[in-house]
A and B are shown apart, each in its own frame.
Chain A
Amino acid sequence: MQLNNTILTVSNLVKNYGAKPAVSDLSLGIREGEFLGLLGPNGAGKTTTIKLLTGLTKPDGGDILYFGKSFFSHPKQAKELIGVVPQQSNLDRDLTAFENLNLHAILHNIPGKLRRGKIDEALDFAGLLEYGNKQVKTFSGGMKRRLVIVRSLLHDPKILFLDEPTVGLDPQIRRNLWDLVYRVNQVKKTAILLTTHYIEEAEKLCQRVKIINSGSIIADDTPAQLKKEVGSFVVEYLDQEERKERFFASKEEALAALKEIDGEAKVREATLEDVFIKLTGRRINV
């Protein structure tokens, strides 16, 4: 299905590693300027999906269209339109921040006379202007992440893929990165596909969330609508030392149910984790 101003259309994507399916019949579309989240536990197929969409691995079936053109017959044109922030930093630690960005600029054919200005602008956007001539191996984890993000934007991509961009970072740095990513989407109007297993990240940043489990999309809507569908309020209680949840449409219903439960119990607002639990019977972050 191709909607108006859809820049990426993925249809029935399949990828198997041996007999094990990593991605099964996955379809999705991203519109211009949209912020889409792909939320799922480790091993759900998020990174494989990003690898498929960026050409790092080939699918066993399905199609990928960028602006209506097949990725497989026009790979070079498609790659000009995409920016990628991989899960593991692929910066060259021996090169300086400037050299890393300059390498990206050369690979993306940015004219020499424009490069210096674009690189300075990118370093400034990431708050790294004064570190341009420092080797990346001297950078902290957060600085490297910020550099990878602005590097991926240097050639003005129409769509940015962020594969678990904040994994392994402490909460303060994670929030700084959320701010940077949010500004990319709002200021530069770049469409973003973010994969994450952090509930809060998906809820805070994404306009729309697709929940992925065992390589398949099992739910797709705005975070608010997804939560509403399972019940916006949750009664959480212990049953024979096992944490359990019951879902309710209103707080009043939840409070009424709470009174009937013996033992430790509480009412809280639903999260996307609850949506995942309701759909699969297990937690995202275990």
Chain B
Amino acid sequence: MEIRFTLNNNKVTSAIEPNLRLIDLLRDKFNLTGTKEGCSIGECGACTVIMNGKAVNSCLVFAGQCEGAEIITIEGIEKDGKLHPLQENFLKSGAVQCGFCTPGMIMSAYALLMENPTPTEEEIKDAIAGNLCRCTGYKQIIDAVEKSAKEVVR
């Protein structure tokens, strides 16, 4: 089947097998390998992308369900070669160690800031509850999101 959707602000078309998952479409057809596959069952959040303004696990969406959708991946949040404040602050706050969870973590935080530009610590924790990090611990990650919220609002 053929699907049309918006990927990182570009209108795209792709011929796919109907049972292809969104994560496979992104990684294998569009070479957007920033989105990671961890658990494949929606528990780790490494594959988080934004679909129609909401954070979703791309391992739990069929590509065939994305007709007409707007998808944003980690590759789509920098602007003119400049990192998004979330990306900057993850680096500065030491919120990245092995980096495998980082794209998903940032996309969950990005979705949060789209809806709620001034989140409390509890709201940040809730937003990233579906993203597992096994290296750094979550403190630095929460700090990075808090810092970014302040900068994005300004």
Q: Do A and B bind each other?
A: no
Using CB atoms and an 8 Å cutoff, list the residues of chain A in contact with chain B.
none
